[in-house]
A = this chain, B = another copy of it.
Amino acid sequence: MDEETDGILQNRPAARDVDATDRKILGVLVDDATISYAELGDRVGLSPPAVHERVKRLRRSGAIRNTAAIIDPKAVRKPLLAFVHIDTKGWGKTPELMAISEHPEVEEIHSVAGDTCMLIKVRTEDTRALEGLLSRLYETPGVTSTRSYVVLSTYLERPVQPGITTEWPTPRHMAKPLY
């Protein structure tokens, strides 16, 4: 296992290469991870123990980070989605970053190239709760300004759909990834 820590999120590289069959498996499991290994085997053309072995390998390697229930935000009274740009000065490694990730309303934290430094995705109960969160964020030392984009309506929300798309270039034809 790789000990490199890329921010808070662990980004260990996949041990072995993900081949075409693996991508088919991932494509199915992204849609529905509750199916049996028998049916998964049918869909990708393998026996139940064989797919089981591959899924276990995909889990170990980190290609499958985890299998989670996807919750409807409205059902848990978090209907308000917003993106917030945060300008910072002297953006260091982790101190304020940890403080931001402590807030349970924060779902994503990205460092972006452009006219602002950080882009975070937050989900709250209503505008009042959003206001409270923003003021708490503003109190974080190093934060110089925030700009919020309140989502009025969401038309699409889906995870990464691997393999479904097309064939992928083999690794040797690929440019070095950005990160």
- Taking Cβ atoms with an 8 Å cutoff, the residues of A that contact B are 6-9, 11, 13-14, 18, 23, 26, 29-34, 58, 61-81, 83, 97, 100-101, 104-114, 116, 119-120, 123, 125-128, 148-165, 168-169, 171, 174-175, 177-179
Contacts and interface: CB of A to CB of B under 8 A. Distances in A.
Contacts of A29: 68-69
13 contacts: A9-B156, A14-B74, A26-B71, A63-B75, A65-B72, A66-B70, A70-B159, A83-B119, A109-B155, A113-B152, A123-B160, A126-B178, A128-B175
B83 A83 contact: yes
| Max chain B Cβ within 10 angstroms of own Cβ: one of A75, A116, A157 | A75
Contact of A76 (B75, B81, B163): B163
A148 B112 CA distance: 10
Most chain-B CB neighbours within 10 Å: which of A68, A126, A161?
A68
A51 to B, nearest CB: 13
Given A67-B34, A104-B164, A72 B14 contact: yes
B66 A31 contact: yes
Given A32-B66, A175-B128, A178-B127, A110 B153 contact: yes
A155 B65 contact: no
Contacts of A13: 74
Contacts of A64: 69-72
A-B pairs, 4 with minimum CB distance: A63-B75, A76-B162, A7-B155, A29-B69
Contact of A71 (B83, B114, B155, B159): B159
Given A33-B67, A71-B26, A179 B79 contact: yes
B83 A154 contact: no
